Amino acid sequence: MNRVYNFSAGPSMLPLPVLERAASELVCYGESGMSVMEMSHRSPDYEAIIQDAEALLRKIMNIPDNYKVLFLQGGASTQFAAVPMNLIKRTGKADYAVSGQFSGKAFKEAQKLGYDVKCIATTKDDNFDHVPTITRDMIRPDAAYLHICFNNTIYGTKYPYIPDTGDVPLVADLSSCIISEPVDVSKFGVIYAGAQKNMAPAGVTLVIVREDLLEYAEEDMPTMLEWKTMADNDSMYNTPPCYSIYMAKLVYDWIIELGGLEEMKKINEKKANLLYDYLDSQDYYIAPVKKDSRSMMNVTFVTGDADLDKKFASEASAKGLKNLKGHRSVGGMRASIYNAMPYEGVEALVAFMKEFAAANPKK
Amino acid sequence: MNRVYNFSAGPSMLPLPVLERAASELVCYGESGMSVMEMSHRSPDYEAIIQDAEALLRKIMNIPDNYKVLFLQGGASTQFAAVPMNLIKRTGKADYAVSGQFSGKAFKEAQKLGYDVKCIATTKDDNFDHVPTITRDMIRPDAAYLHICFNNTIYGTKYPYIPDTGDVPLVADLSSCIISEPVDVSKFGVIYAGAQKNMAPAGVTLVIVREDLLEYAEEDMPTMLEWKTMADNDSMYNTPPCYSIYMAKLVYDWIIELGGLEEMKKINEKKANLLYDYLDSQDYYIAPVKKDSRSMMNVTFVTGDADLDKKFASEASAKGLKNLKGHRSVGGMRASIYNAMPYEGVEALVAFMKEFAAANPKK
């Protein structure tokens, strides 16, 4: 077995001890005589797994009791539709901040569904090289919610603050930064996240929703997209994505063993600092993101020469540093250094960056 | 490792060689240096997996070229909404046959969404102990489609024929009988199925749709529920449930090694016949389903005494024959004997049934 360093933006690395444990009990889980994949979701063995997953996540994220935790399917993209369908009835209109491609998609989806939505802030004219500064006066007081994407995977930006939305519920897509550091859940009305970056294999979507926001679902919306239906059925209105939830549970176990999110944050900061400090110390590579908007999870950089960028990604891959090519819509390079990326992986990347810069002087 | 015989209705048994292969390559897949769970869905390694999965399924099911194969999320329950949202615009109304709980849910979901739908046949008054006889004259000629559930997991019934719907597209939920025997795909407009019975772990939903039916999606429906969007993006509009699709591919490999669906059908018939022949040979257990509607996958029976039924399921479980309790809505017993249930499992069940009948004479 020769494991590579996988800098993919998602699906992405999972902790090796988690993978090894999953492999060891894949055919037969404990005393159950079967794989977790084969368990009825209504069996006591499986109910223990999903209940543990929720309890562990509540502990890790310090989720207040008045929030429901849902394990759903369909990815964050499905939530782009579910958010307005579940919430807009509160007042009839909603506000969006557009800080990158996915927040833009969320906004467009609400428009497609025919809702009265307004983009109150965007950094599109600056190529999304920073996140908007959102102040309370920008938000319509009668908005049903304000939607933001907290960490922008493609551009490598993150909100350095939680916007103060007053009485307007804040709805945030945390797909690419969930459980990477502590976050004050009580400041949000709804948090949602696809699992495939920091939490589990693709196929499970987390929704954390304040209970008082469960009362506004459209009458004529798909039942499977109703948060209240899922909350009332403990995420088991139908068969949940059982194995992905089990994998999430193993990841939560791993985080607790590491010391929780405070410790996770220290590890992630150390990795990100190593890379950003190097970027700031030289002028071969350019880091396009403004310093106060830098993501700890997705680090973007370019050489300024598309051919060199291509050569970089290709040579890095040959050395076991995989998936460093930037998103197809922006080019350049992107190193996604989620929870499961070891510090040694970032060291290896920085060493390669130095080597490549020395070997490929710019004209 | 002491594997049990798991008669769960789903999630349910997976073939042991499939589980063993998955375990062996869980940490590191081939030369990739990573788990399938960690692969970018846009990487060449993963693209090969999803393309193989589709090609193998097309081969196994002999799917005509004018049908698209989609690997989605959300389960059959999500398709209950997706079906009318994608199709009803063809004519503005649709017909449903209700042969059990899930076909009833599909009908109710279309009503909830506000559509003009009609139940043209139901066997509710007979406790769903058989499927309806559907003839062409019962279907409204201007229906956008007729929806049926081909195999009714809870009641243990299956259509012994494919309804002739003339020019009206037939839409069928095949969740609990997909790839258990050959089926003429060309007789259907749309086939859909949750994976967690015969195909893969829960978390992937198969949709097979005739291309000319991709043009009727509602303008204002959730993008993630649009078949055309998914077809245009080869099921990768967003991140698909990668690992479940990989598991499905391993199951398809296993079926091809067995000799394909003709061979699979022989094996399944042999298992079902063993159980039904025993049920027909005695009068301790009652098989409520009419003979011409019997399912080859889900075999229901009762003792006629709820306490004895309970004792049966409990004692069977202690002997490694798991999950024989009938669905909570109907009681009694149900043995789900999907593709992965070995013949020996059914032999063990019949042996136990004889033993239990002898030891527990009825008053």
Average pLDDT over residues B214-224: 98
- With an 8 Å Cβ cutoff, are A242 and B11 in contact? yes
Paired with A336 in beta bridges are: A298
Q: Positive or negative CA dihedral for B209, B212, B216, B217?
A: positive
Q: CB distance from B34 to chain A under 8 Å?
A: yes
Q: CB distance from A223 to chain B under 8 Å?
A: yes
Distance from CA of B55 to the nearest CA of A (A): 22
C-alpha atoms less than 13 angstroms from C-alpha of A207 in its C-beta half-sphere? 29
Three-state DSSP class for residue B220 = coil
- With an 8 Å Cβ cutoff, are B11 and A241 in contact? no
- Poorest-pLDDT segment among A328-332, B2-6, B74-78: A328-332
Cα-based distances in Å from B51 to B5, B173, B234, B275: 32, 23, 9, 38
CA distance B219 to A52: 41
Paired with B147 in beta bridges are: B96, B171
Distance from CA of A345 to the nearest CA of B (A): 14
The alpha helices in chain B, defined as continuous H runs, are 16-24, 44-61, 75-87, 101-112, 227-232, 242-258, 261-280, 306-318, 343-359
The structure tokens listed for B363 are: 């008053």
Residue B170 pLDDT greater than 90, yes or no? yes
CA distance B27 to A233: 33
Nearest to B202 among A8, A82, A239 (CB): A239
Mutate to test the interface with B, among A6, A37, A236 (most CBs of B within 10 A): A37
| Neighboring chain B residues of A12 at a CB cutoff of 8 Å | 38, 40
- With an 8 Å Cβ cutoff, are B202 and A242 in contact? yes
Three-state DSSP class for residue B191 = strand
CB B71 within 8 A of CB B203: no
Average pLDDT over residues B321-340: 94
| Closest-CA residue of chain B to A18 | B27
Residue pLDDT, tens place only, B111-146: 999 999 999 999 999 999 999 999 999 999 999 999
CA distance A346 to A183: 24
Q: CB distance from A289 to chain B under 8 Å?
A: no
Task: Give Cβ neighbours of residue B74 (< 8 Å, ≥ 6 apart).
Answer: A73, A74, A78, A224, B205
pTM for the full predicted model: 0.98
C-alpha atoms less than 13 angstroms from C-alpha of B285 in its C-beta half-sphere? 26
pLDDT score of B346? 98
| Closest-CA residue of chain B to A12 | B38
3-state helix/strand/coil string of chain A: CCCCEECCCCCCCCCHHHHHHHHHCCCCCCCCCCCHHHCCCCCHHHHHHHHHHHHHHHHHHCCCCCEEEEEECCHHHHHHHHHHHHHHHHCCEEEEEECCHHHHHHHHHHHHCCCEEEEEEECHHHCCCCCCCCCHHHCCCCCCCEEEECEECCCCEECCCCCCCCCCCEEEECCCCCCCCCCCHHHCCEEEEECCCCCCCCCCEEEEEEHHHCCCCCCCCCHHHCHHHHHHCCCCCCCCCHHHHHHHHHHHHHHHHHCCHHHHHHHHHHHHHHHHHHHHCCCCCECCCCHHHECCCEEEEECCCHHHHHHHHHHHHHCCEECCECCCCCCCEEEECCCCCCHHHHHHHHHHHHHHHHHCCCC
Cα angle for residues A111, A114, A115 (degrees, 5° grid): 75
| Neighboring chain B residues of A13 at a CB cutoff of 8 Å | 34, 38
Strands A157-158 and A116-122: unpaired
Q: CB distance from A285 to chain B under 8 Å?
A: no
CB B332 within 8 A of CB B309: yes
- B60-79 burial by CB neighbour count: b if 16+ within 10 A, else e? bbebeeebbbbbbbbbbbbb
Q: CB distance from B11 to chain A under 8 Å?
A: yes
CA distance A113 to A86: 12
- With an 8 Å Cβ cutoff, are B244 and A203 in contact? yes
The structure tokens listed for B298 are: 């889900």
| Neighboring chain A residues of B3 at a CB cutoff of 8 Å | 27-28, 33-34
A291 class by beta-carbon count within 10 Å (0-12 exposed, 13-18 middle, 19+ buried): exposed
pLDDT score of B363? 79
| Neighboring chain A residues of B40 at a CB cutoff of 8 Å | 8-12, 323
Residue pLDDT, tens place only, B237-284: 999 999 999 999 999 999 999 999 999 999 999 999 999 999 999 999
Paired with A116 in beta bridges are: A93
pLDDT score of B1? 64
CA distance B58 to B79: 21
Give the mean pLDDT per block of 10 residues along chain A (363 residues): 92 98 97 97 96 98 98 98 98 98 98 98 97 98 98 98 98 98 98 97 98 98 98 97 98 98 98 98 97 98 96 97 92 97 98 98 87
pLDDT score of A125? 97
| Neighboring chain A residues of B241 at a CB cutoff of 8 Å | 73, 202-203, 241, 244
The DSSP code sequence of B286-302 is B--S-GGGB-SSEEEEB
pLDDT score of A1? 64
CB B80 within 8 A of CB B115: no
ipTM, two decimals: 0.97
- Which residue in A302, A296, A295 sits closest to A356, CA to CA? A302
Touching A: B residues 239-278, CB under 8 Å: 239-244, 247
CA distance A190 to A212: 11
Touching B: A residues 177-216, CB under 8 Å: 194, 196, 201-204
pLDDT score of B329? 81
Residues in chain B: 363
Q: CB distance from B78 to chain A under 8 Å?
A: yes
| Closest-CA residue of chain A to B3 | A33
Q: How many CB pairs under 8 A join A and B?
A: 222
The pLDDT mean for chain B works out to 97
- With an 8 Å Cβ cutoff, are A196 and B239 in contact? yes
| Neighboring chain B residues of A76 at a CB cutoff of 8 Å | 238
B45 class by beta-carbon count within 10 Å (0-12 exposed, 13-18 middle, 19+ buried): middle
Three-state DSSP class for residue B190 = strand
- Which residue in A355, A359, A334, A354 sits closest to A282, CA to CA? A354
| Closest-CA residue of chain B to A200 | B37
The structure tokens listed for B319 are: 């002997």
| Closest-CA residue of chain B to A218 | B113
What is the DSSP-derived secondary structure letter of residue B27? S
pLDDT band at B328, cuts 50/70/90? confident
- With an 8 Å Cβ cutoff, are B6 and A33 in contact? yes
CA distance B158 to A79: 35
| Closest-CA residue of chain B to A29 | B1
CA distance A293 to B270: 64
